[in-house]
Structure 1
């Protein structure tokens, strides 16, 4: 069982639009409503892969009730933490060329009692979990050290933990030595405080995160592929993608792919890339099933292409 923790979940509405023209009436060609938040998406991807998952998340108001209903409909066990404020609603506008415009609401502020209830709910459901995946931004009311506390509690319970967050929350959590961290290129550059222009730059930054406490670093480099750096070695992987429809949740799908394949080594990296490549070819934040995966399109190598220039360098 993979337990996910989403401190700031959302109700996500994705509209497919022919183009985004500021100040004009834009008619959507398609619409989806999905439960959102990085940890929620990891649970959705794990469930789509046929594995058991439990989603821990604070939920409030009518949007929170709908999030729970949508997750139950997808076969996901929900461990809700009732909160006073309403769960946030986000909007994504997807254009045919793959451009995505997102409007993310801040979400409710959690009280001291709600913060403690969230931690206690994680503790109650951690028994028997093979992984805990803690993902996304922290809502108002949670200090940057909250993830660090959660990592420490997970390790005290003997459970491996994967972390997908950024900024001060990521840096604070590294001191508790999370087993896996999954930054994208922008988050990796922010963590080390310098730009990334090549795969080699990303590799060096990943090594720095390991020196600060991360066990394994899965770095998502967008269209350029993914990099896995851990104590036993480093691997680079990319995949053929015929068309990009929406990249919402693609990184979360990659993390799920890594964890369901064990969370370490080249086989897990191949699974991560296959899941991410499949996700970007699906509408909205639809998570791929095994039938959507194309393992033959994935290339994994231990010969990391350090000199390869990133398609979208991070300044």
Structure 2
């Protein structure tokens, strides 16, 4: 079982539009309403693969009730933490050429009592979990050290933990030695405090996160592929993509694929790549089913192309 923790979930509305013209009336050609948040997306991808998952998340107001209803309809067990403020609503505009514009609301501010209830719920639900995946930004009210406390409690319960966050919340949690962290290229550059221009730069930065405490680093380099750096070595992988429809939730689907495949080694990296590639070819924030995966499109190697320039260098 994979337990996910999403401290700042959302109700996501995605509109497909031919193009986005500021100041004009834009008519959507498609619309989706999905439960959102990085951990929620991980649960949705795990459930789509036919695996059991439990989603812990604070929910409030009518948007929160709809998030719980949508997750239940997808066969996902929800461990809700009632909060006074309404769950945030986000909007994504997906253009036909693959460009995505997102408008993310800040979300409610959690009281001290709500924060403690969230921690206790995670600890209570962790019994029997193979992995805890803590994902996304922290809502207002939570200290950057909150994820570090979750890591400590998870390890005390004997559960492996994956962390997908950024900024102070990521660096604060590294000392607790999370089993895997999943930064994208921008988050990786921020964590080491310098730009990344090549795959080699990214691999070195991932190694530095391991020196700071992470046991493994699964780094997403966008269209350039993914890196996995752990105690056994470094692997680099790419996946062929025919048509990009939306990259919403692609990284979350990738993390789900990694954990589903055991969360370790090149086989898990290949699964992450297959899931991420399938996700960008689905509309909105839809998660791919096993039938959407194309393992033949994935290449994983231990021969790292250190001098290969990133298509989108991170400065």
Name the TM-score class by shorter chain.
over 0.9
CA displacement at 1:259 relative to structure 2: 0.1
Task: Return the alpha-carbon distance in structure 1 between the equivalents of residues 306 and 68 of structure 2.
Answer: 44
Scaled by the length of structure 1, what TM-score is found? 1.00
Gaps of 5+ in 2: none
Gaps of 5+ in 1: none
Task: Return the alpha-carbon distance in structure 2 between the equivalents of residues 65 and 295 of structure 1.
Answer: 37
Task: Return the alpha-carbon distance in structure 1 between the equivalents of residues 127 and 107 of structure 2.
Answer: 29
Q: Which residue of 2 aligns with 1:163?
A: 163
CA displacement at 1:47 relative to structure 2: 0.3
Task: Return the alpha-carbon distance in structure 1 between the equivalents of residues 292 and 185 of structure 2.
Answer: 26
Task: Return the alpha-carbon distance in structure 2 between the equivalents of residues 4 and 142 of structure 1.
Answer: 18
Q: Which residue of 2 aligns with 1:77?
A: 77
CA displacement at 1:97 relative to structure 2: 1.0
Q: Which runs of 4+ in 1 moved over 6 A?
A: none
Structure 1 position 275 matched with structure 2 position 292: no
CA displacement at 1:104 relative to structure 2: 0.2
Task: Return the alpha-carbon distance in structure 2 between the equivalents of residues 230 and 69 of structure 1.
Answer: 38
Structure 1 position 99 matched with structure 2 position 99: yes
CA displacement at 1:98 relative to structure 2: 0.8
Task: Return the alpha-carbon distance in structure 1 between the equivalents of residues 160 and 264 of structure 2.
Answer: 12
Structure 2 counterparts to residues 171-250 of structure 1, below 5 A = 171-250=171-250
Aligned residues: 315
Task: Return the alpha-carbon distance in structure 2 between the equivalents of residues 173 and 100 of structure 1.
Answer: 30
Residues 239-276 of structure 1: per-residue CA shift (max 9 Å, x gap): 11001000000000000000000001000000000000
Task: Return the alpha-carbon distance in structure 1 between the equivalents of residues 245 and 164 of structure 2.
Answer: 23
Task: Return the alpha-carbon distance in structure 2 between the equivalents of residues 177 and 54 of structure 1.
Answer: 23
Q: Which residue of 2 aligns with 1:134?
A: 134
Task: Return the alpha-carbon distance in structure 1 between the equivalents of residues 23 and 231 of structure 2.
Answer: 52
Q: Which residue of 2 aligns with 1:35?
A: 35
The root-mean-square deviation of aligned C-alpha atoms, in Å, is 0.3
Residues 105-142 of structure 1: per-residue CA shift (max 9 Å, x gap): 00000000000000000011100000000000000010
Structure 1 position 19 matched with structure 2 position 24: no
Task: Return the alpha-carbon distance in structure 1 between the equivalents of residues 290 and 39 of structure 2.
Answer: 20
Task: Return the alpha-carbon distance in structure 1 between the equivalents of residues 314 and 198 of structure 2.
Answer: 9
Task: Return the alpha-carbon distance in structure 1 between the equivalents of residues 131 and 120 of structure 2.
Answer: 17
Structure 1 position 314 matched with structure 2 position 282: no
Task: Return the alpha-carbon distance in structure 2 between the equivalents of residues 178 and 97 of structure 1.
Answer: 37
Task: Return the alpha-carbon distance in structure 1 between the equivalents of residues 215 and 99 of structure 2.
Answer: 33
Task: Return the alpha-carbon distance in structure 2 between the equivalents of residues 19 and 237 of structure 1.
Answer: 32
Q: Secondary structure at the match of 2:163?
A: strand
Task: Return the alpha-carbon distance in structure 1 between the equivalents of residues 308 and 228 of structure 2.
Answer: 16
Structure 1 position 5 matched with structure 2 position 14: no
